[in-house]
Amino acid sequence: MTLFSKIINGDIPSDKVYEDQECYAFRDINPQAPVHILVVPRKEIPNVGAAGKDEKMLLGHLLSTAAEIAASQGLADSGYRLVINTGADGGQTVDHLHIHILGGRPMAWPPG
Ligand code: 5GP
């Protein structure tokens, strides 16, 4: 079981922001911005590249849910960044697909 599955099932406590049948969202333990939330599918998909053809609906749901959560956090007007780190060069440290919602400050480009 992944770290994020343990968070989703309550074995590890989390600061929940949102949940539905497909996904669970909670605040990052090491926030990189005033708002830093992770949106995680309940299904243990290791990364976005590992998502199958039958998971396209789920990927869309995660993206639209992330936008809804960002809006619920008051970020719609100021803007925000959605990030999906993938693999070693992508900086992924937890092998359970997740979208980072980052907001509340201007984001630099290019990213580090
Ligand atoms: P990644 O580096 O894989 O894209 O993102 C993993 C994220 O999970 C990191 O931003 C890290 O701070 C966060 N994280 C790791 N362990 C925990 C935890 O136990 N609780 C919470 N809330 N976030 C965690």
pLDDT in tens, 22-37: 999 999 999 999 999 9
Residue 51 lies in a domain: yes
CA atoms lying within 13 Å on the CB side of residue 98: 25
Average pLDDT over residues 91-110: 98
- Helix, coil or strand: residue 112: coil
Tally the domains of the chain: 1
75 vs 107: CA distance, rounded Å: 13
Q: Residue 112: its pLDDT value, please?
A: 87
Tell me how far the alpha carbon of residue 94 lies from the centroid of ligand 1, in angstroms. 7
pTM above threshold 0.95:
yes
- Whichever domain contains 8, its CATH number is 3.30.428.10
Q: Is the CB of 107 under 6 A from ligand 1?
A: no
Look at residue 87 in the predicted model and tell me its pLDDT: 98
Any domain includes 90: yes
What tens digit of pLDDT does each residue of 50-99 get?
999 999 999 999 999 999 999 999 999 999 999 999 999 999 999 999 99
Annotation says 98 is catalytic: yes
Distance 101 CA to ligand 1 centre (A): 12
Distance 3 CA to ligand 1 centre (A): 9
**Is 75 inside a domain boundary?**
yes
* Cα distances (Å, whole numbers) of residue 6 to 1, 15, 27, 72: 7, 13, 15, 25
